[in-house]
Amino acid sequence: MNDIDLANPELFLNRELSLLEFNARVLDLAKDDSIPLLERLRFLCISSTNLDEFFEVRVAGLKQQVQLGVNTPGPDGLSATEQLTRVSARAHELVADQYRTLNDILIPALEVQGVRFLRRTHWNEVQANWVREFFTQELLPVLSPLGLDPAHPFPRILNKSLNFIVTLEGKDAFGRESRMAVVQAPRSLPRVIRVPREIARGDYDFVFLSSILHAHVGELFQGMKVTGCYQFRLTRNSDLFVREEEIDDLLMALEGELPQRNYGEAVRLEVADNCPDSTADFLLRQFKLAAGDLFQVNGLVNLNRLLAVHDLVERPDLRFPAFTPSLPASLPTGADVFQSVRHNDLLLHHPYQSFMPVVEFLRQAARDPDVLAIKQTLYRTGLRSQLVDILIEAAQEGKEVTVVVELRARFDEEANIQLANRLQDAGAHVVYGVVGYKTHAKLAMVVRREKGKIVRYVHLGTGNYHAGTARAYTDFGLLTADKTIGEDVHKVFQQLTGLGKVSKLKKLLQAPFTLHSGMLERIERETEHARAGKPARIMARMNSLIEPRIIQALYRASQAGVKVDLVVRGVCSLRPGVPGVSDNIQVRSVMGRFLEHSRVFYFENSGDNELFLSSADWMPRNFFRRVEVAFPITEENLRKRVIQESLVAYLTDNTQAWVLQKDGGYKRIRPPANQKPRSAQNDLLAQLTGLPG
């Protein structure tokens, strides 16, 4: 057993292919007829949006490696070139499956429910006249067709925008003969347009903007013959590049870089499947792309725009049932948060339990004359954040407000720049963390004077301070007045806002200093316990698992006989079920109504178990390139709650769980006939909100 090389590339699954498998599981939800129909459409859109980001970031990164000649293989032994080849093949399969799901399953099912997408060939005369009027009044005035000739080179194409390549015959008014033109769809108009009830067959008939333009594209080229009109969409590298060590002002540098995101290097071209090969090849040449970067699709090239239908169709019977998040019994509406937390730690499990106690915690702090200071990290919070408004109010009330805003939160940079400016204008101290390290920890601290002494109240979370995602993501939050945790959080804020040596923390584990070593030590401790015949078990839940040394430590634990149960929502590079290596490791992914986002780490420790919640996944970036914390749950009742609600419930789910196979594929669990169906999310909804399961 000791002769097995745990660094063998065959023991590691590829990160990019694993991420594509995650998107395949999201797409599986779109096919699941036990899920309400509009929600299935939403899952299809999510799978499309996820794939967009995959190309914008992950594929773009691989292409850059190839261009720079960086072909060093990862832990799985695959070079960037080899990864691109495999990723392209799997992505093409996934895209084909998306369109089969839309065309063969969802569109027919929606039509049965009275939600129809009207094709041009099916418009009656009245509808065709309405479309013509819409084109003339709404679309034509904002279109700028761009003929391609020596005086009109190929235009710059915006990232993920809807465009049309038009083929032509004849000459225009100036005698110019151009065989091609580009029409860019205006971003100001919706892509899915509801047909007025008086001319529709039902309440929810829709036409696509692309269909309207196709029907009347000839009117843009008077006197010429349109021989073809084909949708296309370009995906570009959207990673921002800022050399932080060489700039004086990160905010100004990011503001200058943001407009370039829309015009990064091309990485993918999507075209309608009826587009001739010669035209598709022409487009590929314009964007310097290869044949493997072309995706020919049977339908809209921007599937994620169908999400508008989910919002426009007012059919509660086609959605997940509404629910009201509950409040903890110890903190009813209007209660004094400080008094409640002073007596007992308060655990919140979102979205089943309300995010309002967190909002109320900060609101009461802002208005409390005994509160001296508020400190908070903000990673993603949204443009119209109630919490930001409260922090501004606190600053205006004369509190010492310090906010660590992570300007580099991907795709939230612009929103975070705006809120940073608002906070500074109100008199808050705004800092951007530490150069080279994203501040990903979710921390809020209130400093209060009580009977002449300073008391710290702290909120720590696994998810963002964002009321919207708190309704859609599963996350834990802890409100505590624990003195030692308060001192630890105070030291973390000192690191983020000032300078100096790393202070030793007593209860928190912190990246990039002690989180990685702390996790490794605890895994190895379980290994030693198993070898000594003592009780040993590891249960962990996270979004991603790819850090090689952690994976190798888990392999050693498995070899020693430690039972390892992992719930990994997305990417997992660990290969389970390898004889003599990972026989004792099970990896499952649970998917459903809510996005699984909690990070929970349990170590049995020979009966003296430890439980941590964290903002960090087990990834190199979280361990070494971010500021993260893991915090212990020490109160016995709360610890039992977390174990049951976040681990046991998910390990016994037999309806919304997929088990990772040795070959990297996933197999969905189905309950046998003699077993009661169990869904962790539905059970928690019933338990914590009263919604029938």
pLDDT digits (tens, 9 = 90+) for 24-69: 999 999 999 999 999 999 999 999 999 999 999 999 999 989 988 8
The Cα 271–Cα 618 span in angstroms is 37
Tell me which residue range forms the domain holding 113.
Answer: 11-318
Do 364 and 302 share a structural domain? no
Active site residue 214: no
319 residue type, one letter: R
In a domain, 308, yes or no: yes
Do 450 and 359 share a structural domain? yes
Do 391 and 257 share a structural domain? no
Query: Is 410 marked as a binding-site residue?
Result: yes
Q: What pLDDT is stored for residue 377 in this prediction?
A: 94
The structure tokens listed for 467 are: 């009321």
Q: What pLDDT is stored for residue 374 in this prediction?
A: 97
Categorise residue 427: left if φ over 0, alpha if ψ from -120 to 50, beta otherwise. left
Do 248 and 216 share a structural domain? yes
In a domain, 632, yes or no: yes
Model confidence band, residue 244 (pLDDT cutoffs 50, 70, 90): very low
Which of 414, 415, 387 shows the shortest CA–CA distance to 401? 387
Average pLDDT for 491-515: 90
The Cα 417–Cα 99 span in angstroms is 37
The Cα 679–Cα 693 span in angstroms is 9
Q: Which residue has the higher pLDDT, 65 or 149?
A: 65
The Cα 508–Cα 298 span in angstroms is 52
CA atoms within 13 A on the CB side of 56: 20
Do 532 and 496 share a structural domain? no
Query: How does pLDDT run across 257-290, given as a tens digit for each residue?
Result: 445 556 689 999 999 999 999 999 999 999 999 9
Do 448 and 403 share a structural domain? yes
Query: Is 263 marked as a binding-site residue?
Result: no
Model confidence band, residue 219 (pLDDT cutoffs 50, 70, 90): very high
Q: What pLDDT is stored for residue 333 in this prediction?
A: 79
Do 445 and 555 share a structural domain? no
Do 570 and 482 share a structural domain? no
Model confidence band, residue 359 (pLDDT cutoffs 50, 70, 90): very high
With vertex at residue 317, the alpha carbon angle to CA 314 and CA 320, rounded to the nearest 5 degrees, is: 95
Do 574 and 643 share a structural domain? yes
Catalytic residue among 310, 349, 350, 440: 440
Query: How does pLDDT run across 458-494, given as a tens digit for each residue?
Result: 999 999 888 888 899 999 999 999 999 999 999 999 9
Query: Is 459 marked as a binding-site residue?
Result: no
- The enclosing domain of 578 has a CATH number of 3.30.870.10
Query: Is 569 marked as a binding-site residue?
Result: yes
Query: Is 473 marked as a binding-site residue?
Result: yes
Query: How does pLDDT run across 651-671, given as a tens digit for each residue?
Result: 999 999 999 999 999 999 999
| Domain count for the chain | 3
- The enclosing domain of 262 has a CATH number of 3.30.1840.10
> Can you spell out the DSSP letters for 491-533?
HHHHHHHS-SPPPPPSS-EEETTTHHHHHHHHHHHHHHHHHTT
Do 433 and 362 share a structural domain? yes
Neighbours of 163 (CB within 10 A): 20
Residue 255 predicted with pLDDT over 90: no
The Cα 434–Cα 245 span in angstroms is 11
Peptide bond into 36 cis (omega under 30): no
Residue 250 predicted with pLDDT over 50: no
Model confidence band, residue 384 (pLDDT cutoffs 50, 70, 90): confident
Q: What does pLDDT average to over the chain?
A: 91
Do 313 and 389 share a structural domain? no
